[in-house]
Chains A and B, each alone.
Chain A
Amino acid sequence: MAIEFKLPELGENIESADVLTVLVSPGDRIQKEQGVIEIETDKATIEVPSAVTGTIKEVLIKAGDKVKVGQAIITVEESGGKKEDMSKEQKSSAAKSEISVEAKLEKKPLPKEPEKKQGGATVEMKMPELGENIDSADVLNVLVKAGDVIEKNQGILEIETDKATIEVPSAYRGKVVEVLVNAGAKAAVGQPIIKIELSEEEEAEAEPVKKEITEIEEKPPEHGMESVEQEIPRGVRESILPGEKDSQPPITKGAAPAAPSVRRIARELGVDVNKVHGTGPAGRISMDDVKNYVKKLNEERSQRPAATVKQEPLPDFAKFGAIEKRPMSSIRSKTAEHLSYAWTSVPHVTQHDKADISELEKMRKAFNPKVEKAGGKLTVTAILLKIIASALKVFPQFNASIDMEKKEIIYKNYFNIGIAVDTEHGLIVPVIKEVDKKNLFELSVEMNTIAEKARIRKISLEELQGGCFTITNLGGIGGTYFTPIINSPEVAILGVSRSLYEPVFIDGKFEPRLTLPLSLSYDHRIIDGADAARFLRWVCEALEQPMKILIEG
């Protein structure tokens, strides 16, 4: 039985990617985790590993294509224990299984078939299509937990789209292995929501009604009592009578009190009638309520400052000399968009300071051989990682994000720090996770591997997400101070320039000291100037006197 391998979820808000290279061809044997295609998203180049083992039947995409998450990439003749079992079953009752397979395929309205995991009857159920133009929803409640045995069509999640609150029914029957979403999170269509270990019947079961009818038809017309017991399935009867479950449209859940004409107008104006505030008795929504709501929306929209400044027309450069036009790479265009957004939406201030790292440099040199043995390199950046993690603990407003819409400040209790890496493909910011829990050895080694991965474009999207703060070090190139742009939604970034020997006036005379120029850009909406000065000073002092970390950090 051939199965389709589909483009898995790539990360938040990524729905599609460009295919750079196809790494396999029909007939190839493919192992699980083996690379299938190389794709380029807005954020990075990724190799997509196979989730299945088997022989490739067909390659459904080619280099240069745009593929969507959930789109089939290849079909694979699967091999492995479970599938063989299934084929045995199939042989034992060929006709029956055929029905069951067919029924399974058309069983549910989910356009995306779950990928079969190897070696067990565990499937991932994905967020089903919710309706036209809805690609994600807020999870209000998770109605099941790991270990629960659930029935098909039993509600798993309660979600809220901008159109309605919906209960997502299970497409399977079985035991919940893992719940992959949390209440309050956003879930995208196609995103796995739970892992279910299928109950045995589910595996072999044909869709009930169909099976029953088929079986009945195969029976001789005159029949004994014993089988009659099963022959009049209550479920079937019930379903064909009027007034049963589905026969009335839902009324209470999210159904706004609005007349049909009002609902029609709302739909025509592209407004979710359930969001309109009704001014009538008990919140009944009138035609005017809908119109006022639209007016209000429009006003809000026009008051909001334009996210991007209007592009001025470019002159014809060719008039002045020879030019060459090249398309912007997707990393470049994403960087441009992201930084323009950060620059226009975040009020930046940059604070400069200088740290005396003469003593630190001696220690660094002393410890470096040990670190190099472990496969890393003890750099100033590595040390700064550790210091910044401590500084973030002391100054929590630097480990935060702002939600202007909700007027909320989100404080983070984890310490992930991004390092800006200059690669030939463009600027990439891999994130070192849980810096506070790692020692300098570990950090140095990790930095080395991750920077290398970034350079050869093998970095995963996960490794680019979840940062709290960014360090950008231009010291290797030169320069004194610069004004880095905050990697929004983070609220601060530390720019490191080249360290240099300077005469420092100590105890009545000038001494040559190694100093490190530091530039801290911060989001003035949440961080006051004095706090920024204190933060940077704390970092400088920690560089000068690392004991500070042990005492305060």
Chain B
Amino acid sequence: MNFPLLLLILTLTPSTKERVRVRIINWRKMDRQKLTVIGGGPGGYAAAFFAADLGMEVTLINNEKNPGGVCLYRGCIPSKALLHVAKLINETEEAKNWGLEFSKPKINLDKLREWKNKVIEKQTGGLGILSKQRKINYIQGTASFLNSSTLKVEKAGGGSEELKFVKAIIATGSVIATIPFLNIESKRVLNSTTALDLPEIPKSLLVIGGGYIGLELGSVYNALGTKVSVVEMMPGLLPGADRDLVAFLSRRVAQKFEKIMVNSKVLSIKEVKDGISVNIQDGEGNVTEQTYDYVLMSIGRRPETRGLGLENTKVKTNGRGWIAVNEQMKTDDDNIYAIGDIVGEPMLAHKASHEGRVAVEAILGHKVAFEPRAIPAVVFTDPEIAWAGLTEIKAREQNIKVDIAKFPWAASGRATTLDRSDGVTKLIIEPETQRILGVGICGPGAGELIAEGTLAIEMGANATDLKLTIHPHPTLSETVMEAAEVFFGQSTHVYRPKK
């Protein structure tokens, strides 16, 4: 409280004094209710919007014209648009088995790109409007900390300003990880961003890294007509996911793609005439040289804290460069919170949004914590793979005793009508309480189905709950119910001889 104000209060009549005090309290409260969010991805904008909905005065600093982040501009959304097209192309081919023959599609790449860009514009533009409607102070630019209460904002339109903040949330996400010596300057070496720009339809493409980004983008190019090869250092694709789920994908990819090289690594790449020459060493140590039209580097993403000026604050990062936070998403600096990719795995949009909402409530003094029981992960390949909660691999690693119940999609009527019996739904169950600890699904639409599994885990549901819940027929969702029936040895569509 400043001095003249104090004098003023002392000279007022009791009733006005009371009113002034109330106003001062409100003013202080207002101060507490100011929030600055740095980064406008699915974490940052969800936090900013939620804070505005709760009555906070929000500033959102983001490097793009509109909120959206990697997810909307260069990640989840554009890749899903292209994967939708890929799926359509594949289905027209498969249709010949059902008595429907289409001629080979004519692909107008410019139009396809334009459509994808429209999807992005529609989504991000929508977010821009939502931001305005919430009266969020949106600043296009980048920010770095000068101290624990001041930011320096470099505006996209030029110029910079110092900005005071009361509480800030860092949501600046991650960047594409590279192996520098393989990162040669060439338009034929793509990363996940440039690959989404569809420069052309290459004759051949080598995907370095058999993780979800490489497989999703590889699938897109494969459908468009490119001969796609994948090189992966680990013994299998999608390391970390349960093998029985990945098996269906591996089988299909092996048919569709040119070559899958596991246990193999890239030793060097160089640009040659009309392509990229790559040296690959297999598990036995044999080195082969092969030339590809294009190469896609997709070894993952990593946090990027450089340039944020964290050294001017009390924020600490841990080993891998991720910002250390507590379960309220607060960093070691009381004024600064951090959410999303920059605080660690899993680097998923939906995790970031939830963390963002927790951070906002924590700032407002609500008793909250980021304590999910499961975070669903989805790989949007064909077939899709999705899981939530405990995986079989992790149960084994941690010596957790579990029962596994699997329902093969070959026994699903709906899957058969789609001519897609290459799928499985499995439940990971605590033997004593029969509680659902994890759910894993492989098959078309697994990404949609996993939501029920996640809810089951969060609600502490047991196998009986899933078994007794009526699922609509004929749908793929029945596989979740029937997997629970398998657990009791009573599945209608799977016969298991009694032990």
> Which residues in A have some Cβ–Cβ distance to B below 8 Å?
103, 106-109, 111, 131-132, 207-210, 213, 216-217, 219-223, 225, 228, 231-232, 234, 236-249, 251-252, 255-260, 263-264, 267-268, 270, 280-285
Contacts and interface: CB of A to CB of B under 8 A. Distances in A.
A258 B324 contact: no
Contacts, number: 168
Nearest to A284: B460
B212 A242 contact: yes
Contacts of B462: 281-282, 284
A249 B387 CA distance: 13
Given A221-B181, A232-B233, A283 B371 contact: no
Contacts of B372: 249, 260
Contact of A222 (B238, B241, B270, B387): B270
Contacts of A267: 367-369
28 contacts: A103-B319, A106-B316, A107-B319, A109-B316, A131-B327, A209-B321, A210-B319, A219-B180, A220-B181, A222-B270, A228-B181, A231-B179, A232-B179, A234-B234, A236-B177, A237-B299, A240-B347, A242-B379, A244-B239, A244-B240, A246-B345, A247-B346, A247-B375, A248-B438, A257-B460, A281-B464, A282-B434, A283-B433
A255 B430 CA distance: 12
Contacts of B457: 251
B97 interface: no
A259 B459 contact: yes
Contacts of A223: 181, 268
Given A237-B233, A244-B345, A251-B457, A257 B435 contact: yes
Given A106-B317, A248-B390, A251-B389, A240 B302 contact: yes
B184 A221 contact: yes
Closest 6 CB pairs of A and B: A240-B300, A257-B460, A243-B240, A282-B433, A247-B346, A246-B345
A235 to B, nearest CB: 10
Classify chain B: how many residues form its interface, as a range: 35 or more
Contacts of A232: 179, 233, 265-266
A219 B462 CA distance: 54
Given A237-B299, A247-B240, A251-B373, 15 more contacts: A109-B324, A225-B267, A228-B181, A239-B300, A239-B320, A240-B177, A240-B302, A242-B347, A242-B377, A243-B238, A244-B345, A248-B391, A249-B371, A251-B437, A285-B460
Contact of B180 (A216, A239, A285): A216
B377 A238 contact: no
B180 A132 contact: no
Contact of B346 (A243, A258, A263): A243
B264 to A, nearest CB: 11
A233 to B, nearest CB: 9
Interface string B337-362: 00000001111100000000000000
A252 B430 contact: yes
A194 B328 CA distance: 29
B181 A222 contact: yes
Contacts of B432: 282
Given A240-B299, A243-B377, A252 B180 contact: no
A222 B326 CA distance: 42
Given A222-B268, A248-B375, A264-B368, A243 B319 contact: no
Contact of A242 (B302, B344, B346, B389): B346
B197 interface: no
Interface of B: 177, 179-181, 183-184, 209, 211-212, 233-234, 238-241, 265-268, 270, 287, 299-302, 316-321, 324, 326-328, 332, 344-348, 366-369, 371-375, 377, 379, 387-391, 394, 400, 430, 432-435, 437-438, 457-460, 462, 464
Contact of B348 (A107, A242, A252): A242
A452 to B, nearest CB: 46
Contacts of A252: 390, 400, 430, 437
Contacts of B374: 248-249, 251
Contacts of A237: 209, 233-234, 299-300
A225 B241 CA distance: 31
Nearest to B378: A242
B321 A210 contact: yes
Contact of B345 (A103, A207, A210, A242): A242
Residue in B344, B373, B379, B464 whose Cβ sees the most chain A Cβ within 10 Å: B373
B46 to A, nearest CB: 17
Contacts of A219: 180-181
A243 B241 contact: yes
Given A106-B318, A240-B301, A242-B347, A234 B460 contact: no
A234 B234 CA distance: 8
A259 B460 contact: yes
B394 A248 contact: yes
B209 to A, nearest CB: 8
Given A111-B332, A242-B212, A282 B267 contact: no
A287 B99 CA distance: 56
Contacts of A207: 319
